[in-house]
Structure formats: C-alpha cells, structure tokens
Amino acid sequence: DSGVTQTPKHLITATGQRVTLRCSPRSGDLSVYWYQQSLDQGLQFLIQYYNGEERAKGNILERFSAQQFPDLHSELNLSSLELGDSALYFCASSHNVLHQGVAQYFGPGTRLTVL
C-alpha cells in the first residue's frame, strides 16, 4: 500500500458525459501527478500540482482539467468523454516540487470505461 488513495476504483459512463476522479496523496506529500495509461500508449503524464498550484503540464486534453485543494487532495475532471478516453487513470504523489530524483508513489488507479 503506497498510502495514495483514489476513488472510485471503477467508473462506467457514456460518451459526452463528465466525470470526476479523486486522489488523496500520501501524508506529507505536497506534489500530486495525474497519469493516463492505455494499452497502446503506456503511462502518459497529464498534469502536476504542488501545494495547490499547477507546476507542469503534459499531454492533457483541453476537455480535461484538474485542481488541488487546500487539504492537498486533487481532482481530475474529464468532460465530453469519448470512447478513446477509456483507460486507467493513476494519481501519484511525492514530497518535492522540483524534478530532483524523488520517487513518485502511485495510487491504485481508477479504471474508466466510456461506452
């Protein structure tokens, strides 16, 4: 158990809908990262937050947005869902903000299925 929690574990929804994925980082970690993992693309970095502020952006679609709250939990919002958005979504956390060789610890993931 990494100490990172994610809810829900599974989510099934229809095209065009909007969903929210939730993540709580390990105690003491200030950075939260979101990743998308699909079979053909591997693990893709979406976005990073540190202590409530956006720090880095990866291949995140405009239909997707995220935020980190004062209690450090984070939410990833996915809207106008398409079939291709079906994937595993992981949240990870680390203590540092900068890219300084600190390991990221991953939550169990949310499996999103868009029908």
Partner 1 sequence: GQNIDQPTEMTATEGAIVQINCTYQTSGFNGLFWYQQHAGEAPTFLSYNVLDGLEEKGRFSSFLSRSKGYSYLLLKELQMKDSASYLCAVEGNTPLVFGKGTRLSVIA
Instruction: State the binding string over 50-89 for partner 1 (x if CB under 8 A, else -).
Output: ------x-x-----------------------------x-
Name the residue with tokens 């869902």. 81
- CA 93 to chain centroid: 10
103 binds partner 1 (CB under 8 A): yes
Least distance in angstroms from the C-beta of 69 to partner 1: 20
Cβ atoms of residues 2 and 107 within 8 Å: yes
CB of 18 to partner 1, least distance (A): 25
Looking at the Cβ atoms of 104 and 114, the one nearer to partner 1 is 104
Stretch that binds partner 1, among 16-24, 43-51, 69-77, 79-87 (CB under 8 A): 43-51
How far is the CA of 95 from the CAs of 46, 48, 111, in angstroms? Answer: 18, 12, 26
- For CA atoms 76, 91, 74, 115, the dihedral sign is positive
Strand-pairing partners, residue 44, are 36
Q: Which residues bind partner 1 (CB under 8 A)?
A: 2, 4, 33, 41-45, 48, 56, 58, 88, 90, 99-101, 103-109, 111
